[in-house]
Amino acid sequence: MPFGMLKKRQFKHRLVRAILVGSLCILLGAISTIGQTTSNLKRTTLMRMAHAQRLAEGALDSANQAATAVIEDLGKECLSPVLLQLRMQVAYFQTVRSVNLVQGNQIYCSSLYGHYAEEINFDSYTDGTLYLVNDNRVKKDQKLIIYRKVVGKDSIVVRLYGDHILSELSVLSIDLPLGLIVGQQQWQHQQTPSTPLISPDMPGYMELPSTHYPFKIVAAISPANYLSYIWYFSRFSLIAWVLLSVIVGFAVFRWSGRTISPEYELRQALENQEFIPYIQPVVSGHLMRETGCEVLMRWAHPTMGIIPPDNFIPMAENCNLIIPMTQALMTQVRKQFAPMAQLLPKDYHFAFNITASHFRDFNLVEDCRAFINAFGDNPIKLVLELTERELLVIDEVTERLVNELHKLGVMIAIDDFGTGNSSLKYLQHIKVDALKIDKSFISKIGIDTHSVHIVDNIIDLAARLHLQTVAEGVENEEQASYLKARNVTFLQGYLYGKPVPMEDFALQFYD
């Protein structure tokens, strides 16, 4: 056989072998990549379902505690001492709307209405203890979860605000919707009449029953969800298998076996600097002009657009990423505003949200020092707003860190005061400079007298402790006038400006 023909034949065999090996690598890569991503989607969905289940059980635990606390009042006349006890439970638990005493099938005493008569058909309650309802008596189409604690022939009925559970379902429904099922009833966030309910006959149906209460969390992963998830997370892997099959097959195979999880998404976003500052103005309640701002975090997702913090901050805290994310945010704000320090109003303040985990890391002191020192030409004030999503362990480390921050002139505020379980404990053990009144109370000014009393008590408490106050969520002049009349130090809300991108916010100082 001529040499030229032999070489041609060998080349042909090599080409066939390369194509076969390449095809095998592509097949293995596709199977591996698709298997991993679909498995991760199921695992991620189960994690979110489990988190939603814990949240719902926590709300029902509050209802059970409230019911247990008033057992001794069951059967007593609906007089002031009994009503006081019922209303105390509503005050203790943020998600509880009302506590009601029931004889047989009739409510005779309600924390909401006092002496009251209402027939209830408990046959429709799942296991006689749980029921979902859309109530129109106080607010149109208000979603309630009703929990019943049976005591002999009588019972205690606790009605919970369903919006709390629905908002949490929204936070956890980034990729696909989750549903809460009680008996034949089902809730989904922002459900409309055209929204299909999640049912067992749907492809990829998943359910997670509660072991404590008669409800379950459900989801359905459709083929479209799988394709979208595979394309979003693994399209580059599939392309790499096609283009590089034999050359980098093993490397691509290892890459395709990575674990796709919320933590991975957040780490990639942090590395790609996708977490950006949005800033909302804060005005002086006395001078009625802007004297500071709050820096809020947004996720500028490359495909999903701007994602609000409620959808990713809880995951960031669980993955221990909130500290580097806050550091990145402070760095961006410092670089933007330090060069224009002379344009800022005197004593202008910047407020950042922090969590309990920040108080275990002394890098926070150095970050604050660097931020303050950058504004040497026109000193600013730095405020750290402590959120209560995590429990702050108060020990020598915490006290030392707080002292170091105060030496720098950093002010510490308790965010969403009145909504958590540890606010008063913090006031006892650490030096706090300000209380931030949660917008859920501010929004009820002029509407709900109970919330207004809470606002007044917080303002009075702050005055007695010589603390500043910040009211967030101010949306109309009625609320603003009420707060100004009570000498609230700072006002914040849509009435004065929505959160906007940092660059847009900075433009106002050049006018």
Give the DSSP per-residue string, 79-142: -HHHHHHHHHHHHH-TTEEEEEEEETTEEEEETTTEEEEEE--GGGSBTTTEEEEEE-SSSTTE
CA–CA separation, 235 and 377 (whole Å):
50
Q: Quick check: is 28 in a domain? A: no
The parent domain of residue 348 ranges over: 263-510
Measured in residues, the chain has a length of 511
CA–CA separation, 249 and 254 (whole Å):
9
CA–CA separation, 84 and 19 (whole Å):
81
What are the CA-CA distances from residue 61 to residues 51, 158, 323 (Å)?
A: 15, 11, 31
**HSE (side-chain half, CA atoms, 13 Å) at 85:** 19
With 0.75 as the threshold, say if the pTM is over it.
no
CA–CA separation, 439 and 473 (whole Å):
4
User: In which element (H, E) is residue 412 found?
Assistant: strand 411-417
Q: Quick check: is 461 in a domain? A: yes
Give the pLDDT confidence score for residue 14 in this predicted structure.
Answer: 46
Give the pLDDT confidence score for residue 418 in this predicted structure.
Answer: 72
316-353 tens-digit pLDDT: 888 889 999 999 999 999 999 999 999 999 999 999 99
CATH no. for residue 355?
A: 3.20.20.450
Q: Quick check: is 63 in a domain? A: no
State the virtual CA torsion across 200, 191, 208, 150 in degrees, nearest 10.
-110
Q: For Cα atoms 342, 343, 349, give the angle at the middle one, nearest 5 degrees.
A: 90
Q: What is the CA radius of gyration of the chain?
A: 28
249-299 tens-digit pLDDT: 444 334 443 445 677 788 888 999 999 999 999 999 998 999 999 999 999
Residues of the chain scoring pLDDT < 70: 1-23, 25-26, 28-30, 32-35, 138, 168-175, 189-196, 226, 228-261, 389-391, 420-423
Q: How many domains does the chain have?
A: 1
233-242 tens-digit pLDDT: 666 666 666 6
DSSP for residue 303: T
Query: In this structure, how many other beta carbons lie within 10 angstroms of the beta carbon of residue 54?
Result: 13
Q: Quick check: is 229 in a domain? A: no
Give the pLDDT confidence score for residue 42 in this predicted structure.
Answer: 80
Q: Quick check: is 34 in a domain? A: no
Instruction: Classify 222 as helix, strand or coil.
Output: coil
Q: Quick check: is 408 in a domain? A: yes
Give the pLDDT confidence score for residue 483 in this predicted structure.
Answer: 95
Q: Quick check: is 336 in a domain? A: yes
Give the pLDDT confidence score for residue 11 in this predicted structure.
Answer: 45
Give the pLDDT confidence score for residue 245 in this predicted structure.
Answer: 65
Structure tokens at 241: 């298998």
Give the pLDDT confidence score for residue 241 in this predicted structure.
Answer: 60
Q: Which burial class, exposed, middle or buried, applies to 81 when counting CB atoms under 10 A from its CB (0-12, 13-18, 19+)?
A: exposed
What are the CA-CA distances from residue 186 to residues 191, 216, 235 (Å)?
A: 10, 10, 35
Q: Quick check: is 285 in a domain? A: yes
